[in-house]
Amino acid sequence: MNVSNEQELIDAARVAREKAHAPYSKFRVGAALRTKSGKIIQGCNIENATLGLTLCAERVAIFKAISEGEREFDAIAVVCDTEILTPPCGSCRQIIWEFCGDIPVTLANLKGKVERETAGSLLPRPFDRSFL
């Protein structure tokens, strides 16, 4: 992925983070998912009082994209306000793999720190439809 495309995703994830609903943890996360046609779909984390039913930004972006008829993706960026960049949780890693495949995953913070991974490196030996 070229730098300008990556920065566009990071910027979109940063904007999405501002919309997060995180009144309990105060841990606001934004994600931006790019379709193969170039459309960017944003998601933010959405907490509730039970915390267990909280939706992560990555899953919100992916489910939003799927609900809008999108099925092919080529990259995702995740932005948090942490010194150590925060990777997707296990549930999000599974959803990214299942719906997006081995796409680039860019992690960033508000200070400009960036790391690059792939979905496959974050979720080695993933479970998918090939096992069904």
Other Cβ atoms within 10 Å of 9 Cβ, number: 25
Residue with tokens 């400009």: 112
Catalytic residues: 58
Would you state the CATH architecture of domain 3-122? 3-Layer(aba) Sandwich (3.40)
**68 Cβ contact list (under 8 Å, min separation 6):** 41
Give the residue from 67, 56, 65, 57 showing the smallest Cα distance to 38: 65
Res. 2 pLDDT band, cuts 50 70 90: low
**7 Cβ contact list (under 8 Å, min separation 6):** none
Res. 1 pLDDT band, cuts 50 70 90: low
Q: What is the average pLDDT across 10-29?
A: 98
